[in-house]
Structure formats: structure tokens, C-alpha cells
Structure 1
């Protein structure tokens, strides 16, 4: 199970990186076309907002969680023993898992609703559908949730093994 979660998060991380590269190229081309030819493309900002930014921020969440690269502030816990810090970290991880489960379910329901209503944003020249970006967010949160669930159970085993040794 661990390998599957790691591979899935790695795939999401690579996809987020490739999307970042595509967004950078698109914005660079638009900037050059404006500067050189005084030609602008309709919907460039909206595409970046509704597609690229969602994918760049949501898809790598699981990989960031697995690498434990989120910001941790230890102002109030620096005086605690290592075991107490581990226990507090595990409790925070449970809270994070429950919160991300609720958020993921909400995003999946919103994505289903957006798909059914064919949610779009009206631009000058065309309509930009953006219900797919809701699915991208739901998939990214699902990767984060799977990682968090795995981490809760692996930390619980570590806490139990540490308490048996003590």
C-alpha cells in the first residue's frame, strides 16, 4: 500500500511540475506576443486561474505531506519530551485526516454538481468550461487524504512499538 501511495503522489508531483512548465511557457508566449506583435489571447488569465493554479497547488499536496515538508512551528512544544511530541503530532495528523476527508467529500460533491450543470465562465469570445478543475482539486485532495490515512496508521504502530520498549 505504501508503494502505491508513494507512486501516486510522485505521479501527481510530476504532473504538477509539468503543468507549471506549461503555464510558464503559455504566459511567456502571451507576454512576447503582446510585446512584439501587440496581440493578446482571450482567456489566458482565466485558464491559468481555473486550471493551472488549481493543479499546481492541489496535486502535490500528498507528496508534500509524505515528505513532511509542511510548515511546523514548535514554539509551544519545544519543551515537551520526544514521546509527547510524537503523540501530539499523531493527534494533529488524525485531525488533519478527518478535516481532509470532509474537504475531499465536499470537493467531490461540488465536482459532481459542477459536471452535471456543465459549469463554465463566460469570456468575450467563448465560454471556458471549468468543471474539470473541480475534479483536479478533488483528485489532489484524495491523494493527500490517502497519504494522511497511511501516516496515521504507520505512526500509531510506531507509538505502540515505542511504548512497548519503554
Structure 2
């Protein structure tokens, strides 16, 4: 289990680093586009397409598993906070499985969509520039798939009663 925890930790950290790099590149790209547009009267071609089909997808979906690993997703516990701690732990544990199923379906559906986009050679024309967008469709199943792995791992830890160190609140005790 320690090997799986380390492997998931490295994968989650890698995707968060990629997400951070994407934020920086997006800022540079948009800044260059604005400077080019208003100072040199020549915007950077395909900025809107690249930002909306690549940068934003990386920033939104790749770090999902990081938030889950750190228990940083938004949760509202109006009712369950009044339950005994043991019941809360069981509710949280089975929620991992339910969430893994939902994200598993999202992974499957987004992967088949990415394959369809690849088969058709999906692209967008912007400012007479052809931009292939089908590769960006693979980012969602990567992020959602990693989320599934983290959730399944957390569910197995719940079933075995294992507490995961290194991440605050990783498994509720």
C-alpha cells in the first residue's frame, strides 16, 4: 500500500506541476497577445482557441486529484456534522466509492469522446490559423482517471482502516 500511496502522490504532484506551468504559460500567452494587439496591431494567432481548449482544461481538470488527496474539495456538512464520528467516517468512506463510480463514468465517456475527436481530426479555425483541438480532449480523461485512482485508494484505505500519513485529513478517523 505504501508503494501505491507514493505512486499516486507522485502522479498527483506531477499533474499539479503541469497545471501550474499551464497557468504561467497562459498568462505569458495572453499578455503577449494583448501587447501584440494594442502596441504592434498584430495579435498572437489562435490565442482564444489555445486558452480555451488547452490551458483552461489543464488548469481545471489535471489538479482535481490533488484537491481530493488533500481533502480540499468544498463540502457542506449541514446534517452529517451532527452524526456520531463513526457514522461520519462510514458515510465518507462509502462516498469515496460513489464518487469513484461517477468519475469512472466521466473518464470513460470523455475518453470515448476524445477518440471520436481524434478520428475526425477536430480543429478550429481562428484568424486563418488551423488549430488541432483533439489532443486537448485527452486531458479530461487523464484528470478524471487520476481522480478515480485516488478515490479507489481512499476507499480501500477506509475498508482496511488504514490512515494515510503525509496529507492532512487524508482519511477521516
Is TM-score (shorter-chain normalized) higher than 0.5?
Answer: yes
Q: Which deviations, in whole Å up to 9, do the C-alpha atoms of 1:61-100 show, x marking residues without a partner?
A: 1111111100011111121111111111112111100000
On the 8 A contact 2:125/2:131 being kept in 1, the answer is: yes
Partner of 1:9 in structure 2?
Answer: 12
3-state DSSP of counterpart to 1:78? helix
Give 1:67-146 correspondences, 5 Å limit.
67-146=70-149
TM-score, normalised to structure 2, is: 0.87
By relative contact order (CA 8 Å, sep 6+), the higher-ranking structure is: 1
Q: How big is the alpha-carbon RMSD for the aligned residues of Structure 1 and Structure 2?
A: 1.3
2:39 corresponds to 1:40: no
Partner of 1:163 in structure 2?
Answer: none
Structure 1 residue ranges (4+ consecutive) displaced by more than 6 angstroms after TM superposition: none
> Which structure 1 segments of 5+ residues have no match?
160-166
Displacement of 1:37 in angstroms is 2.0
Q: Which deviations, in whole Å up to 9, do the C-alpha atoms of 1:140-162 show, x marking residues without a partner?
A: 11111111111110111128xxx
Displacement of 1:124 in angstroms is 3.3
Give 1:12-31 correspondences, 5 Å limit.
12-31=15-34
